Amino acid sequence: MMYPSQGVAGVDMPVDAGTAVVSAEQITRDFKTGFGSVQVLRGIDLAIMPGEFVALQGRSGSGKSTLLNILVGLDDPTQGSVAILGQSLAGLNETQRAALRRERVGLLFQNAHLIPTLTAQENVEIALRLLGTASKERSARAQEVLERVGLKEKVDHRGLELSGGEQQRVALARALVHRPRFIIADEPTGNLDSLTGRNVITLFQEIVNQTGVGLLVATHDQRIASAAQRIIRIQDGLLV
């Protein structure tokens, strides 16, 4: 898979190996509850560089998903700042954030969230449709990436005709097809059997090595932690 030096949507953002794909400074996040306020994140500093595969660990409820949402601008920190590829999120409105995610970020969750009535190919092409990629290129790139995740024979199967593991691999293909610079994955192997989970982990390693994407994976899966180059742990609202 080639790595573009320019955005697929023509937005000029040159690859800079020295700029973090994501950086966070002194992130806090308070949630209001019926009893007052709880501080889930209490001052997180973090930087992930291109070509880094980082695992985020921590017990259930420690704030992993909360942190990931903030790092991709789906939620705002109570205090502190986040930048994706050097672009501060604080100065961007919702439309601009959505555009940045569409062009630069790949998102993968525990559930694949495919559109069940569309084929694997069509589900993957959605990411490129949003960017206005021409039909021929869309089709070629969706096929290339589906082949990459081992689903060459299943491109015409509808979401509802795929197994859970196959659906998750389609979701991975969809997260990769626009060649993001930063990927976050929240428990991506949580619903997979161990062999399928291992395949996804191997794919993560290959993609990071070959494309220089930065990858942050929140996980309880010890195999992901072992495959990662770096492990960060969240405890009592802080990275330890």
Ligand X SMILES: Nc1ncnc2c1ncn2[C@@H]1O[C@H](COP(=O)(O)OP(=O)(O)OP(=O)(O)O)[C@@H](O)[C@H]1O
Which residues contact ligand X by CB under 6 A? 31, 40, 58, 60-66
Show the tokens assigned to 84. Answer: 């994706």
Q: Which of Mg ion, ligand X, none is residue 18 near (CB under 5 to 8 Å by kind)?
A: none
Q: How many residues does the chain have?
A: 240
- Would you count residue 110 as binding Mg ion (CB under 5 A)? no
65 binds Mg ion (CB under 5 A): yes
Which does residue 3 bind out of ligand X, Mg ion, none, counting CB within 5 to 8 angstroms by kind? none
Query: Of the two residues 66 and 143, which places its CB atom closer to ligand X in the complex?
Result: 66
Asked if 17 contacts 191 with a C-beta cutoff of 8 angstroms, the reply is: no
Nearer to ligand X, 56 or 155 (CB): 56
Q: How far apart are CA 142 and CA 126, in angstroms?
A: 9
| Residue 57 binds which entry of ligand X, Mg ion, none, CB below 5-8 Å type-dependent | none
Residue 214 binds which entry of ligand X, Mg ion, none, CB below 5-8 Å type-dependent:
none
Alpha carbons 66 and 87: distance in angstroms, whole number: 20
The conformation of residue 119, written as its DSSP 8-state character, comes to: B
Longest pairwise C-alpha distance within the chain: 56
Q: The tokens of 176 are what?
A: 């990769």
In the complex, the smallest distance separating the C-beta of residue 65 from Mg ion, rounded to whole angstroms, is 3
Residues forming contacts to Mg ion in the complex (CB under 5 A) are: 64-65
